[in-house]
Amino acid sequence: MIALESRPDGIILPVRAQAGSRKRGILGEHAGALKVAVTQAPERGKANEAILDVLCDALQLRGREVQLIQGETSPQKKFLIRGLSLQELTDRIAIAMISKLNPKSP
């Protein structure tokens, strides 16, 4: 289960990053964090930008709704998600994980 943390300014989403992967996307859950793979190497912030793009695509978020707040140079990252309730984010994560398991679903 992903350990989401509600705060007055948004929700903290822990992410376990896998940079330099063959594929890009949500891989599932890893130790209480959402596991996200990107093809970019972890250099000069390229992987962080790619992770942000994956989160926006998979969770149907706008770029301004997502901010990296911890772990810029670490595989363990925390993103602040704004504009959603805890339940809405939980639902979107569940849909993204189901889509990962069954890519043909809408």
pLDDT digits (tens, 9 = 90+) for 31-55: 999 999 999 998 888 999 999 999 9
Residue pLDDT, tens place only, 68-85: 999 999 999 999 999 999
pLDDT at site 105: 44
pLDDT at site 106: 47
| Mean pLDDT on 18-42 | 94
Right CATH number for 5-101 from 3.90.550.10, 3.40.47.10, 3.30.559.10, 3.30.1200.10? 3.30.1200.10
**pTM of the entire predicted model:** 0.91
Question: Would you call 80 exposed, middle or buried from its count of C-beta atoms within 10 A (0-12, 13-18, 19+)?
Answer: middle
Residue 83, by phi and psi: left (phi above 0), alpha (psi -120 to 50) or beta?
left
Measured CA to CA in angstroms, residue 80 lies from 30, 33, 36, 102 at distances of 18, 13, 15, 27
pLDDT at site 33: 98
Rounded Cα distance, 5 and 14, in Å: 9
Give me the residue spans of the domains in the chain: 5-101
